[in-house]
Amino acid sequence: MPSTRNRVIWNLLRLAMSGVIVAAVAAQFASSVDVAAAYDRDAATTVGNFFSFFTILSNLAAAAVLMWSSLWWFSRGRRTGPPEPRGLAIAVACVTSYMIVTGVVYNALLRGIELPQGSVAIPWSNEVLHLIGPAFLLLDLVIGPVGRRLGWRTVPVVLIFPIVWVAYTLVRGPATTNPATGDPWWYPYPFLDPNGPGGAASVAWYILAIALVIALVATGVVWVDRRRSAQNRAPRVA
């Protein structure tokens, strides 16, 4: 995508996708809050639970980074050309990895399973967060504008947030009462619930498997970026 015209179009698409993702999150959040109010559930717990889903966090991060990338290009990159700032290049790699993993895990393991978000999933919002958004980030990686060439040290950086999120989830889970069922624990996904079938051992295996998937996806993201950047002689991220 070398031409300025194509870059303009793609960065407008990034802005549009950012807005669509935010709208999808807002719609699902409003539904969760409305249901919580209707059933007189604790509002703070409902909000905390909503923003504890990896899907919600990865989508919000993706929306922010897509907007950052687009606004940077229109404000500075359009005049100076690539590369984008080092931090932006790494942030794009991170959210691309998270969104691809979100799409893969949801559609492979969770589609058709009602998750404890506090309300019935809104169909269009659900598809944006789990299919359309991840697909767009994948396309952005494969055919979007080329920026800096990522270094392999980007891969462990990508793993930082998922590790922190898993630790947070496992600490918060047993300290949170499920507002819908009254159980003295709450986990955003059934495979992270040690009270379910398989217990803690099953949770540990799922965590290892998903960590491996994230690492493989991050490696693939960096590999694709490096290959495309080398072909376009893009500057390297240190």
| Residue range 129-160, pLDDT digits in tens | 999 999 999 999 999 988 788 999 999 999 99
Domains of the chain, residue spans: 4-231
Using the predicted structure, report yes or no on whether residue 238 has a pLDDT greater than 90. no
The closest of 124, 86, 126, 122 to 110, measured between CA atoms, is: 126
Classify each residue of 6-40 as buried b or exposed e, where b means 16 or more C-beta atoms within 10 Å of its C-beta: ebeebbebbbebbebbbebbebbbebbbebbeeee
What distance in Å separates the CA atoms of residue 67 and residue 62, rounded to the nearest whole number? 8
What pLDDT is recorded for position 236?
A: 56
Radius of gyration for the chain, computed over Cα atoms and rounded to the nearest angstrom: 19
Percent of the chain scoring above 90 in pLDDT: 66
> What's the pLDDT tens digit per position in 94-111?
999 999 999 998 888 777
pTM, 2 dp:
0.90
Phi-psi category of 144—alpha, beta or left, where left has phi over 0 and alpha has psi -120 to 50? Answer: beta
Taking all residues of the chain, what is their mean pLDDT, rounded to a whole number? 89
What pLDDT is recorded for position 91?
A: 97
What pLDDT is recorded for position 81?
A: 62
Residues with Cβ within 8 Å of 230's Cβ and at least 6 positions away in sequence, in order, are: 149
| DSSP E strand boundaries for 70-227 | none
